[in-house]
Copies of this chain bind each other. A is one copy, B any other.
């Protein structure tokens, strides 16, 4: 995770990986047939650990589905801080490099990102139904959350120091505002 997030997938060599993990090359290739397989496993591990992390987060307790959705965004914003390597996404980083060269990695990263999106769909569906939002779907909005998150990481990488985290947080603020308006405005309209 550490090496891929700071150097990218292809610039990270198997030798570096082994040195960082305190493992010999023989052991590495005993467990993974190729470097590509490690990439797939990394995406799957990332997927499993993040989905577990978000499932245990506190924002699920809100009664109002809109509060749950905004709570998720607030939670994501609170996670952003320090150097980019500390909050960026392994799947997003890998798929950018490997989408054409490795179908297996592409699919694993797709599963990670879309799986993360899927965890929001139920709350978004409730929010849409309750506030009578039209013209979009919970699936599309869930993807938009991921879009803004991934995009904020790209822009964060153009900065150095604290500016990275500040920029990423600022951008999630716009996502929050969009959802706030989308569900808030629809509510007012609904009450007329």
Contacts and interface: CB of A to CB of B under 8 A. Distances in A.
A159 B51 CA distance: 21
Interface residues of A, number: 50
A147 B151 contact: yes
Interface stretch (A21-29, A63-71, A89-97, A118-126): A89-97
Given A147-B155, A151-B147, A151-B148, A174 B11 contact: no
B185 A178 contact: no
A95 B8 contact: no
The A contact surface, by secondary structure, is helix
Interface string A126-163: 00000000011000110110111111101101111000
Most chain B CB neighbours (cut-off 10 Å) among A85, A95, A99: A99
B146 A155 contact: yes
Given A97-B11, A160-B106, A182-B181, A150 B154 contact: yes
A8 B6 contact: no
A96 B152 contact: no
Interface string A150-192: 1110110111100000010011001001100110010000000
30 contacts: A8-B10, A8-B97, A10-B10, A10-B11, A10-B97, A11-B97, A84-B99, A92-B154, A93-B96, A95-B157, A95-B158, A96-B96, A96-B97, A96-B157, A99-B158, A106-B157, A110-B159, A140-B170, A140-B174, A143-B155, A143-B167, A143-B171, A144-B171, A147-B148, A147-B151, A149-B151, A150-B150, A150-B151, A150-B154, A181-B182
